[in-house]
Structure 1
Amino acid sequence: MRKFLTALAINFGVVLKVPLLLFFDARYLSGRFFDQDFLGFYWCIKAIWTRNILRLAPPRPFPAALTCRISKAENIDFHPDDLNNFQSPGTYFQNLHGRIVIGRGSYIGPNVGLITANHRLDDLDKHEPGMDIVLGKRCWIGMNAVVMPGVVLGDDTIVAAGAIVTKSFASGAVIIGGVPAKVLKTRSL
């Protein structure tokens, strides 16, 4: 069945995308999940049903799983080939006051939080000014990790599951982990 659906998507993808344009921005309806696979169409159907029809979560300009929480979709920059990062359960993109940039080929595991602004310690009803988060190309953020405001991770950085990343590792090609995160190993690429 999957082979049939993939062949259908590859051969009739342009026609299948037309109704999706009612719900999603055209720039997100391209890439490997639409041009080489049926997964993109599947994610679209699920997102239309849960976010646009049932209104269980706010609609987004790209297909996102029901349990993927995104504060401000226009403050996220990513390549359409990385649409899979918004299908991971429990992901939290808190970006009301800052941007999140996800480098091409990066993977974000389940229950990961990317947080661009913390609460003020003297008044918890207010937030500190937002600071952008930048993930380089081919990064991997493991399950239950949290990336805090202002963090820049260089290309090929791996964040261990459960890590709390409070500072930048801009040089890249490292494995980091712990609370707070520190370099566990340098990768030779």
Structure 2
Amino acid sequence: MNINKKKLNNFQMKNSLKKIAYPLIKVGMNILFPKVKDDYYYTYYFLKMGINQKLFGYNKHVPWPVHPTSIVKCPEKIQYISKAPGTAIGCYLDGRNGIIMEENVWLGPRVSLISQNHDLNDYNKYITEQPIIIRKNCLLTTNCVILPGVELGEHTVVAAGAVVRDSFPEGNQLLAGNPAKVVKQLEKYRG
């Protein structure tokens, strides 16, 4: 009986602290990232990440929360709807030619979205490409690489370590390998 009362008291205390802390965290996040309106980010973890980012200069130029080990180039050319990119460990987001992510796009650790390539005849020049387009309900898992001009259709899952150099606009598919290819057709996304 005492153990159950103790658990109940701990649960009640945690809920009380959440009720007090949540509005304070929300205010802090609104100060650090005024353009981010998604409640998903109003957690202690993201507030801590935001403080590190804004005070200590890790990705200070990025207007959404980014993990300190992630790198974001040209964030002004990166469009996202729901999940801010780069919150996972070690992501590399090169937005110089543009990156467009629709809603519910998930990026795992060390994902690279590279929208710009060097000119093979003059390494000081870059090639202008189409932006990377990732349609809704996509999952990009650990260490996958998406190269310039790629479009991924709705509900595309990219397996760990895959290198995607061609577009796969059809959707409902699992991509794997280097170069990536369709290894499985998926059912329509239910989430």
Equivalent residue pairs, number: 176
Q: Which ranges in structure 1 are unaligned for 5 or more consecutive residues?
A: none
SS at match of 1:44: helix
Q: Which ranges in structure 2 are unaligned for 5 or more consecutive residues?
A: 1-12
Shift in alpha-carbon separation, 1:3–1:178, aligned structure 2, 3 A: farther
Q: Deviations over 1:129-183 (max 9, x none)?
A: 1320111111011111100111110111010110110111101001011111111
The reply to whether residue 8 of structure 1 matches residue 20 of structure 2 is yes
Which has the larger strand fraction?
A: 2
Q: CA deviation at 1:9?
A: 5.1
**Equivalent-residue separation in structure 2 for 1:74 and 1:2 (angstroms):** 39
Which residue in the other structure is 1:72 paired with? 74
**Equivalent-residue separation in structure 2 for 1:3 and 1:57 (angstroms):** 33
Given candidates 39, 44, 47, the residue that maps to 2:47 is 44
Q: Deviations over 1:83-124 (max 9, x none)?
A: 3x421011011112x221112112111111001111111111
Which residue in the other structure is 1:107 paired with? 106
Q: Is the 8 A contact 1:24 1:60 kept in 2?
A: no
Q: How many percent identity over aligned positions?
A: 30
Which residue in the other structure is 1:95 paired with? 95
Q: Is the 8 A contact 2:25 2:47 kept in 1?
A: no
Which residue in the other structure is 1:128 paired with? 127
Given candidates 54, 57, 60, the residue that maps to 1:55 is 57
SS at match of 1:8: helix
User: Looking at CA atoms only, which structure, 1 or 2, has the larger radius of gyration?
Assistant: 2
Which residue in the other structure is 1:171 paired with? 170
Q: CA deviation at 1:23?
A: 3.0
Which residue in the other structure is 1:157 paired with? 156
Q: Is the 8 A contact 2:79 2:101 kept in 1?
A: yes
Q: CA deviation at 1:5?
A: 5.0
SS at match of 1:59: coil
Which residue in the other structure is 1:82 paired with? 83
Shift in alpha-carbon separation, 1:23–1:87, aligned structure 2, 3 A: same
Which residue in the other structure is 1:33 paired with? 40
